[in-house]
Structure 1
Amino acid sequence: MSSPHTMKVVSSAHVERVRELKEKDLLRCDWLRDRVQAWKKEVIELNELGEVFDCVDIYRQPAFDHPLMKNHVLQMKPSSYPKGFPFKYSSAANTTKAQLGRIPCPAGTIPVLRNNSVERLPQDFSTILGGQLAIISTSDKIYGAHASFSIWKPVVKGYGDISATVMNVLNGRPGEDLEGIGAGSLRELQNKPCFDLQCKGFVQVGKFALGQQITPVSVYKGKQVALTFLLFQDPKTKDWWLVVDDKPVGYWPSFLFTNLKGRASMASFGGYVWGPTIKKQPPEMGSGHSAAEGELRAAYARNVKIVNIENLLTDLDRERTTCQATKPRCYSVDAFDYNSDGAHMFYGGPGGRCGY
């Protein structure tokens, strides 16, 4: 079971094809556990955090169990990166990068975190997994998204609760054919939706392990810890790549999608919470403090940009961009604005008995 006291880096995927959904497509934690036991592997333990990883043959990772991956040719890196990447933004005072260790697996293998439990992805995706949001949202012809997030350790209380900082790109109609992929940091108790390698089709290529703990995290009124994420569509292969702090982690092959095969139509950046306690005492979001508290106190999203049709990192269109907090008494957005580094905002809140 996952520890309730950690923050993790995650990728996520959602393909909503209601008429085609079959029981065999619903992932269970037993499936991955059984698969890992069957793989030839070398165990690597991160002594300082107590995490255990299996070094799995890169061609025997879960992605290649997908029937559409039978004849897939592995891509070790994108054909090119968006113009303007890596993005040279202004250095924020009192901010440091999170420490994400590369797992020393042998050549030809990738690290897979043990006991990275999963549950079925909820079908209500109308508010990003059916929870509550505090986000920047923009609509456009989108070929990628970029943002830097401060990393916190919000309090989650209930079994199955999730509090996450996430960036998503989406296309389609909610409840019908919506497709989305995302990346960010997450804190949860013991189960979670379709994240990381449990999402059939995500191909990991780097030595950075999805699901591993983030350390250190931001301190209230103290040192801020941040991570930068980039999701973009390779202009040649049309695959969607995930990059964390300038390092390619892996990709979703384009043939897994219908609507996202061409581009995305919406991108969102910020916080979301979801889980059994969402209706009565929802978990904290971000730092657990109101967005209005601002610098060094509230969680932030900075350097927010999208990738346009010219494969260029560019600012969000102000007329197509909004801020949204679906439960304002619990979670808020504040100080939304633009500067030379792109859009930015503070977001989050305490959750609990707010407005119920």
Structure 2
Amino acid sequence: MEKAGFTLFLAMTLCLATLANSVSRKSTNREAPEDEDDFDRRLRLLNKPAVKSIQSADGDIIDCVDIHKQPAFDHPALKNHEIQMKPSIELPSETRATENKYSKPAISQTWQKSGSCPEGTIPIRRIRQQDLLRASSPKQFGMYPPCSQDHVANSTLHEIGRNVAINGTNVSLPYQNDRSQAILLTAGYHYIGASGDINVWNPRVDLPDDFTSAQIWLLAGPGDKYESVEAGWMVNPKLYGDKQTRLFTHWTVDGSISTGCFDLTCSGFVQTNPEVALGSAVGPISSDGGEQYQISVGMFMDEKTSNWWLRLTNDLTSAIMVTWGGQVYSTMVKKSPHTRTAMGSGEYPEALHGHASYIKQVRIKDYSLSLNTLNYNDEVYCYNGNNHRDGYIAEPVFYFGGPGQNNFCP
């Protein structure tokens, strides 16, 4: 996105603990069968009254909603909340070093070509009934699919999937039976920010419930019930209704067991920027052997307020783990026949620039100012990731991706 300073205020410390408690209480009750009234109520909750609506060329409708009436304020924890419009600290600005004839920033979202939102409003992608119908239930819309539990019975696989060593220190990754990752990982204490330039592609998605993403992910323990915020781009037909590459965010405080959601589909994020709509398509898209485009993503904690800020192109406290890379969700990962959903560009990292997807300018912000990383891959023959350096002086670039099912990944 061409304009610098797109910033979303993530109201993590203000309301996520309360959200976790309220959702947990509700999840213990048996829900009544859902009917048309449930769909109507959910749509009214998701779609706030618009000051202005914009019809995007790609079929989306963007509603310009009063900033004080966005979904975050439906939660009691944010009643009478005063919006912090900008950080009390200066956020690290995105680098321009990689903007050359080989790498260009992704310059826009499709809807922006059809209009803009007035001052005092934020753009929110309208949710329609067909969107809810693709979810397992209206209340499940916008959440991660329920994590399959067959790995719990297989304790050996569970432990192998979680324990890795980085510079002699053992760290525990959440094991997720239905997700496959190719990531660059750093683990330590008190990370208060991370950023990177993420190459933009449009990978193939195979099965109806599959999705694929390229992202930055900040996590804090314990174990599988981690707290996290993540952001980047995603292709997710079940959530968005098409196979476009879209900007996304996600949060959870319990490993997505009962809390969290994508974008603004539940209380959790407070958006302040009027120019970017979460969940909307981003472009242009990189082409094999041709122009390469990227978005600069950064997440940073305001130490004075403990609020987290998301920068795109210009009770969670600090994170203990940061990952950069790709993720594929499918019930057919780590199984045979494997899904053919691709990660990144669909090419393995060995294809390098112009062919494989990358993340450049990997950065963290913490109290030690150290960055020790490890490549971690769930299924090396399906998807893979590797740091590559052109010579001794050049900064490493993390390449990642893969086609999914192939001769070596049956």
Q: State the Cα distance separating 1:59 from its structure 2 match.
A: 1.0
CA distance in 2, matches of 1:51, 1:237: 35
Equivalent in the alignment of 1:332: 384
Report the TM-score when normalising by structure 1.
0.81
Matches within 5 A, 1:114-153: 114-115=126-127, 117=131, 118-122=141-145, 124=147, 126-127=174-175, 130-140=178-188, 141-153=190-202
Equivalent in the alignment of 1:281: 338
Equivalent in the alignment of 1:355: 409
Is the counterpart of residue 216 in structure 1 residue 284 in structure 2?
A: yes
Equivalent in the alignment of 2:45: 35
* 1:114–1:345 Cα change, 3 Å: same
CA displacement 1:100-132 (0-9 Å, x = unmatched)? 245511221111102374343246592479400
Q: State the Cα distance separating 1:29 from its structure 2 match.
A: 7.9
Equivalent in the alignment of 2:116: 104
SS of aligned partner of 1:107: coil
CA displacement 1:167-197 (0-9 Å, x = unmatched)? 0111011233x10001000001222782100
CA distance in 1, matches of 2:107, 2:176: 28
* 1:72–1:309 Cα change, 3 Å: farther
CA distance in 2, matches of 1:274, 1:190: 12
Which amino acid is the alignment partner of residue 62 of structure 2? F
Stretch deviating more after TM superposition (287-296 or 185-194): 185-194
Equivalent in the alignment of 1:6: none
Which runs of 5 or more structure 2 residues have no equivalent in the other structure?
1-7, 32-37, 132-140, 148-172, 241-249, 251-260
Stretch deviating more after TM superposition (324-333 or 120-129): 120-129
Equivalent in the alignment of 1:21: 24
CA displacement 1:290-332 (0-9 Å, x = unmatched)? 111111110001100001238xxx5x523xx200110001011
CA distance in 2, matches of 1:325, 1:174: 18
* 1:44–1:297 Cα change, 3 Å: same
Q: State the Cα distance separating 1:89 from its structure 2 match.
A: 2.9
Equivalent in the alignment of 1:201: 268
Stretch deviating more after TM superposition (228-237 or 333-342): 333-342
Q: 227, 240, 251: which one pairs with 2:308? A: 240
Matches within 5 A, 1:36-55: 36-37=46-47, 39-47=49-57, 49-55=58-64
CA distance in 2, matches of 1:157, 1:211: 20
Q: What stretches of structure 1 move > 6 A for 4+ residues in a row? A: 10-20, 338-341
Tell me, yes or no, if the aligned pair for 2:47 and 2:126 is still in contact at 8 Å.
no
Which amino acid is the alignment partner of residue 117 of structure 2? C
* 1:32–1:239 Cα change, 3 Å: farther
CA distance in 1, matches of 2:9, 2:306: 18
SS of aligned partner of 1:170: strand
Which amino acid is the alignment partner of residue 157 of structure 1? D
CA displacement 1:76-112 (0-9 Å, x = unmatched)? 1111224x52434343441211122455112211111
CA distance in 1, matches of 2:65, 2:144: 25
Is the counterpart of residue 317 in structure 1 residue 317 in structure 2?
A: no
Which amino acid is the alignment partner of residue 171 of structure 1? A
* 1:347–1:54 Cα change, 3 Å: same
Is the counterpart of residue 296 in structure 1 residue 354 in structure 2?
A: yes
CA distance in 2, matches of 1:19, 1:32: 17
CA distance in 2, matches of 1:129, 1:270: 18
Q: State the Cα distance separating 1:24 from its structure 2 match.
A: 5.8
Stretch deviating more after TM superposition (87-96 or 232-241): 87-96
CA distance in 1, matches of 2:41, 2:90: 34
* 1:214–1:148 Cα change, 3 Å: same
Which runs of 5 or more structure 1 residues have no equivalent in the other structure?
1-9, 247-256
Tell me, yes or no, if the aligned pair for 2:9 and 2:84 is still in contact at 8 Å.
no
* 1:11–1:270 Cα change, 3 Å: farther
Tell me, yes or no, if the aligned pair for 1:323 and 1:336 is still in contact at 8 Å.
no
Matches within 5 A, 1:251-262: 257=315, 260-261=316-317
SS of aligned partner of 1:21: helix
Which amino acid is the alignment partner of residue 331 of structure 2? P
Is the counterpart of residue 79 in structure 1 residue 88 in structure 2?
A: yes
Which amino acid is the alignment partner of residue 134 of structure 1? A
Tell me, yes or no, if the aligned pair for 2:375 and 2:387 is still in contact at 8 Å.
no
Question: Where is the helix percentage greater, Structure 1 or Structure 2?
Answer: 2
* 1:221–1:30 Cα change, 3 Å: farther
Which amino acid is the alignment partner of residue 302 of structure 1? K
Q: 161, 165, 173: which one pairs with 2:222? A: 173
Tell me, yes or no, if the aligned pair for 2:47 and 2:127 is still in contact at 8 Å.
no
SS of aligned partner of 1:59: helix
CA distance in 2, matches of 1:128, 1:168: 15
Report the aligned-residue RMSD. Answer: 3.2
SS of aligned partner of 2:208: coil
Tell me, yes or no, if the aligned pair for 2:181 and 2:379 is still in contact at 8 Å.
yes
Q: State the Cα distance separating 1:342 from its structure 2 match.
A: 5.6
Which amino acid is the alignment partner of residue 77 of structure 1? K
